[in-house]
Every structure is written in C-alpha cells, then in structure tokens.
C-alpha cells in the first residue's frame, strides 16, 4: 500500500461513524432552501435590490425618527403631568398613574412655594436691615440720654440755683424752658461755691462733735 493510500484510509477511518451513532439531521425548510439558492442569478439580483431598497427605507425612517426626536426635544417642558399622555389615545389611567401624576403636581407646587418663600425672605431681610440699624441707633441714643438728668430733676436743680443766687425771683409757675432762660453760667458757679462752703461747715461741725 502506498503512502498516499495510507493517508486516505486514515482520513476515512477518522470521519467514519459506526451505524447507530449518527446524529439525526433535520432537513432544511423549503423557504430556507429558496433563500439559500445562490445559484440563481435572478434571485440574487432580486435579493440585492430588496436589501438596497430596505436599507434606503430604513435610512429614511431613521432620518424621520431623528427629526421627530429633535422636534420633541425642543418642546418646552409641560407644566401639567397630563401632557405625558400626549399621543397615548385610548389609554385608561390606573390608580397608580393618578397617584403618580398627583405626586408630580404636588412636588411642582411645593417647589414653587419654596421659591416664593425664599424670595419673600430675601425681601424681608433687605427691608429689615435699615430697621435694625435704626433700632441700634435708638438704643445707643437712649443709653447716652440716661447719663443726663431727667426734665423733672433739671427743673428742681434750676430752682435750687435761682433760690441760692436770686432769692427774690419767682419760680413757682414757670416751666422748665422759662427757668433755664433765667439761669446764667455765673449763677451756676455761685451756687457751686455756696454748696462747697456749706459742705465745709458741716464737716467741721461733725469733726467738733
């Protein structure tokens, strides 16, 4: 046996399957046979033309789809959740849908109210700033005024000065403004000097006792 015959017998024995070991094979469908019949040139041309026409149609559909998508994308956001049902004619809302739409409506309303509240707070803060400054100035002025005697105290002091420097002056029915008009710087100095002399005499009397 030649070397070539030996190799051929080896390949045959390698591919040989004993009887009863072959796997069942399902014959191809008739439609598949027709589609796989590549020997028919007319059929091949028809398939190629159909594929090209289908490709062009698909490209046109893709272009139309892209145009519609862009047009929909530029549409402003609707304020009402019912706008989500646009193009869904005949769809019956379920209880879950109603609850979801109500939730969206409530969230939008809450967001709007929060924005209004923030705006009011900013305006209120802006208006309160001058009032707070005025209140601080008022408190400071009141603190300074408390360092000075009251109108009643000042009236009594003026009467005392006039009594010491001008005993004959009538001060009974005069108001504070009139009394202040009668007092001079010289009267005040004389009253202070008289008070000092009186305090000195009282200290000597206490020391002698």
Q: CA-CA distance, 75 to 72, in Å (whole number)? A: 5
3-state secondary structure string across 119-188: HHHHHHHHHHHHHHHHHHHHHHHHHHHCCCCCHHHHHHHHHHHHHHHCCCCCCCCCCHHHHHHHCCHHHH
- Rounded mean pLDDT of 85-108? 84
Helix axes 151-165, 185-208, angle to 10 degrees: 80
Asked whether the whole model's pTM tops 0.75, one would answer no
Mean pLDDT in residue range 134-143: 92
Angstrom distance (rounded) from CA 35 to CA 50: 13
Rounded Cα distance, 42 and 91, in Å? 48
Which has more pLDDT, 134 or 23?
A: 134
pLDDT digits (tens, 9 = 90+) for 84-93: 566 667 678 8
User: What pLDDT digit, counting tens, does each position of 166-180 carry?
Assistant: 888 887 778 888 888
pLDDT above 90 coverage of the chain, percent: 21
Confidence (pLDDT) at 156:
87
Instruction: Write the pLDDT tens digit of every residue in 139-196.
Output: 999 898 888 888 888 888 888 888 888 888 887 778 888 888 888 889 889 888 988 9
Q: For residue 39, is pLDDT > 50? A: no
pLDDT, residue 72, reads 42
Q: State the average pLDDT over residues 7-23.
A: 54
Given this model, what pLDDT does residue 75 score?
A: 43
Instruction: Let me know: does 179 contact 162? Beta carbons within 8 Å.
Output: yes
The helix/strand/coil state of 25 is coil
Tens-place pLDDT, residues 56-68: 555 555 444 444 4
């Amino acid at each position: 046996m030649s070397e070539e015959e030996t190799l051929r017998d080896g390949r045959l024995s390698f591919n040989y399957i004993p009887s009863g070991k072959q796997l069942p094979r399902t014959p191809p469908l008739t439609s598949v046979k027709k589609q796989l019949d590549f020997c028919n040139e007319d059929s091949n041309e028809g398939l190629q033309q159909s594929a090209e026409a289908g490709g062009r149609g698909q490209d046109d559909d893709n272009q139309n789809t892209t145009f519609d998508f862009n047009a929909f994308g530029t549409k402003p956001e609707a304020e009402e959740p019912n706008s989500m049902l646009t193009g869904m004619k005949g769809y019956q809302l379920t209880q879950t849908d109603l609850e979801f739409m109500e939730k969206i409506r409530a969230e939008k309303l809450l967001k709007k109210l929060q924005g209004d509240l923030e705006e009011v707070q900013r305006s209120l803060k802006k208006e309160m700033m001058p009032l707070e400054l005025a209140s601080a100035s008022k408190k400071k002025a009141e603190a300074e005024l408390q360092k000075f005697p009251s109108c009643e105290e000042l009236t009594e002091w003026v009467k005392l000065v006039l009594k010491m420097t001008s005993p004959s002056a009538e001060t009974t029915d005069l108001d504070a403004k009139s009394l202040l008009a009668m007092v001079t710087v010289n009267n005040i100095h004389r009253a202070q000097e008289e008070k000092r002399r009186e305090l000195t005499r009282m200290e000597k009397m206490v020391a002698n006792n």
